[in-house]
Amino acid sequence: MDSIKQYLYFALVLAFVLYRANQRANKARQEREETKHKQKEKEKAGGDSSGKSGGHATQTRTPDRDPPATWSVIEAVSDDFDIATCAPRPYRPFKAGKYHLTMGLQKCDASDWILLENTYKRRTAYRRKQLKEHPEIACLVQEGPEVDAAVHEYYEYMWYYLSERYPKYFTKETVDGVEWCHNSLWDEKYPMSAQKCLDLGLAKGSRDLAMICSSTHEEDFLLMTLDETHDPPMYRMRAVSSCFPAGFNPADKIGLTLRNIHGPVPGYKQRLDLSMNKFFAKFQAGNFVQRQNWGIQCDDALFDYENYAGFDAEKDNEPYEAHEVDFNEWALRVERQVLTRLPKTGAMCFVIRCYTTPVSVIREEPRAPDLIDAIDQLPIEDKVYKGAHVWGPVLQQYLRREVEGKGVGDNPIERIC
């Protein structure tokens, strides 16, 4: 009896397995038939198979396309937001302890991309001055269709973002079928479409569109597109707005690869080159990340594009002495950099916001000892790159209240911005 039961059990299992296999085969056959049917429908839609056009049948397969890329949803500021009372953010990215060269990236909300603070009118007025007096440095755009597309998208995304985030100051209105954005802070109106801006003669080309963007917000920005002819493929800087350059001439950077842009940065090639390229390659549209870097500015010029001469040329520069220095003119300079990928063109986009705070203010803050230690911990190559071998020792003395400098007074430059 046991053998009969085992035989029956085996027969039932075998029948069930065959049944399931037959089901899967039928399903696969049905899917193939449906695919063939869809393919025929696409071929019919792609061309006239009747031969009526010139007597020749034309069959063109319509490729499947991804849905159009969309911009991130932007949350408006609260109704009580007032730019006049919105103080600059007090970024202090220096750290005590051992120095490490890293990308230092942090997540950033899409609604925190471009900022409006109470420095807006003063800073954008300064930007407009530089764009007028130094156009060959402050705004540069290479030629080419992919560059044009990236600049057009940036222009349109900027107006979209500002009107969504700050509707009180950037209002949308439609006139004769054209959607405009009114910048009430400057009482200016521009079409939200880049092509409309060109068609209406408000801009002659992509560089003019970039100039409009550069004079509308406080941030510098740069656009990079992938150069697939480079081995390995690498992103190149194709457009740049740089009204606040420090220690470099933007005209020397335009067209360079990500690797060559960072050539002067100590340790970049050894520690960050490969990881940065991989990060760029995998970075998805809709994501935003930010980082900050810091340095000390020894004058009151935000537009300071003198070239970095290099380690060998600058390593022997003599350090400042207290009697030579007016600390009222020195400031902590912090750059807030936000990176995203423009979803329609795939261009990588940086916006860079510059904050400068008098060192006399930093001295009164509880983290002043951290800045003293951060200067000590910089490797010699980084000290020379930042100029810290020149300004570091006397600044540390000033922060410790050991010296006051030659310009002691109650009116430090207005640089908390």
414: pLDDT confidence band, cut at 50, 70 and 90? low
Q: Which residues contact residue 165 at a Cβ distance below 8 angstroms, ignoring those fewer than 6 apart?
A: 74, 75, 76, 77, 111, 113, 114, 116
Closest CA to 327 of 402, 224, 269: 402
Give the pLDDT score at 320. 93
Q: What one-letter code names the amino acid at 52?
A: K
Give the pLDDT score at 26. 56
30: pLDDT confidence band, cut at 50, 70 and 90? low
Closest CA to 114 of 353, 303, 415, 345: 353
* H-run or E-run covering 148: helix 145-165
Domain ranges (residues) in the chain: 92-399
Give the pLDDT score at 20. 52
Backbone angles phi, psi at 230, to 5 degrees: -75, 145
Mean pLDDT of 333-357: 95
- Is the pLDDT assigned to residue 248 strictly greater than 60? yes
Which residue in this structure is represented by tokens 């933007």?
250
C-alpha pair distances (Å), 384 with each of 47, 144, 259, 308, 388: 66, 38, 20, 10, 6
Mean pLDDT of 244-250: 86
- Is the pLDDT assigned to residue 304 strictly greater than 60? yes
- Is the pLDDT assigned to residue 337 strictly greater than 70? yes
What's the predicted TM-score (pTM) here?
0.80
Mean pLDDT of 327-356: 95
What share of the chain in percent tops pLDDT 90?
A: 60
- Is the pLDDT assigned to residue 303 strictly greater than 70? yes
- Is the pLDDT assigned to residue 116 strictly greater than 50? yes
Mean pLDDT of 357-363: 93
Interior angle at CA 342, CA 270 and CA 265, nearest 5: 20
Beta bridge partners of 333: 295, 356
The more confidently predicted of residues 388 and 263 is 388
Q: How many CB atoms lie within 10 A of CB 210?
A: 25
Check residue 97 and report its DSSP letter.
S
Whole-number Å distance between alpha carbons of 266 and 254 = 21
Closest CA to 248 of 231, 261, 257, 266: 261
Give the pLDDT score at 111. 97
Q: How many CB atoms lie within 10 A of CB 401?
A: 9
Give the pLDDT score at 29. 52
The more confidently predicted of residues 331 and 40 is 331
Mean pLDDT of 159-168: 98
The more confidently predicted of residues 401 and 11 is 401
Which residue in this structure is represented by tokens 């007597």?
55
Strands (E), 260-382: 288-297, 331-341, 348-358
Give the pLDDT score at 13. 45
Give the pLDDT score at 103. 75
The more confidently predicted of residues 249 and 27 is 249
The token duo for 186 is 């400057």
Specify which of 163-177, 238-252, 259-273, 377-391 reaches the highest per-range mean pLDDT.
163-177
With 0-12 / 13-18 / 19 or more C-beta atoms within 10 angstroms meaning exposed / middle / buried, residue 176 is: exposed
Mean pLDDT of 34-38: 50
- Is the pLDDT assigned to residue 186 strictly greater than 80? yes
- Is the pLDDT assigned to residue 368 strictly greater than 80? yes
Specify which of 67-71, 325-329, 359-363 reaches the highest per-range mean pLDDT.
359-363
317: pLDDT confidence band, cut at 50, 70 and 90? confident
Lowest mean pLDDT among 100-109, 135-144, 176-185: 100-109
Whole-number Å distance between alpha carbons of 414 and 218 = 17
362: pLDDT confidence band, cut at 50, 70 and 90? very high
Lowest mean pLDDT among 36-45, 47-56, 68-77: 47-56
Mean pLDDT of 132-145: 95
Mean pLDDT of 100-106: 82
- Is the pLDDT assigned to residue 415 strictly greater than 90? no
Check residue 213 and report its DSSP letter.
H
CB 286 within 8 A of CB 296: no
Check residue 257 and report its DSSP letter.
B
- Is the pLDDT assigned to residue 176 strictly greater than 70? yes
211: pLDDT confidence band, cut at 50, 70 and 90? very high
Helix/strand/coil for 367: coil
Give the pLDDT score at 52. 34
Q: What one-letter code names the amino acid at 95?
A: K
Q: What is the mean pLDDT of the chain?
A: 83
Check residue 55 and report its DSSP letter.
T
Whole-number Å distance between alpha carbons of 336 and 351 = 8
Q: How many CB atoms lie within 10 A of CB 325?
A: 22
